Amino acid sequence: MGWEYEVSGRLDLSLFPGDLDGWSHALDVLATGRDVCWMDDDHSPEIRGQALNEEHETPAVHVEDVARSSISVFLPLRLEDGWIDGQRKLLQLVRREWPSEVLQTSPDAYEWRR
């Protein structure tokens, strides 16, 4: 028996270059078939990806926003073949479009170029 659900929501967060590096690493880990946790910094929602959720026999993601809303969402996913490569291409586009006006002045500190 198949179940389909519609989920609607908004996840407001700020991304920094280190977060993009973390997403790149998360994609590498998922590509090996291992589970991963991304954005677990006590300020942002924690995003955990399962390469394979045994109960649903599909990849799954769990988003938990403990710091702000206490909302938790678990989603089994039906992903197309090659989705990791698609995510890597999107990540390259984001890096290419990242504003050159943003400078990293020290670890986790950024300011606009003058």
- The H or E element that residue 87 is part of is helix 83-97
User: How many residues does this entry show for the chain?
Assistant: 114
pTM: 0.76
For residues 16 and 110, is the Cβ–Cβ distance under 8 A? Answer: yes
Tokens of 109: 């500190």
How far is 28 from 66, CA to CA, in rounded Å? 26
Q: What is the mean pLDDT of the chain?
A: 84
Percent of the chain at pLDDT exceeding 70: 89
Which of the four pLDDT bands, split at 50, 70 and 90, describes residue 27?
very high
- In three-state secondary structure terms, 97 is helix
How far is 33 from 2, CA to CA, in rounded Å? 24
pLDDT at residue 44 tops 90: no
pLDDT digits (tens, 9 = 90+) for 6-15: 777 777 777 7
Tokens of 19: 């977060």
pLDDT at residue 1 tops 60: no
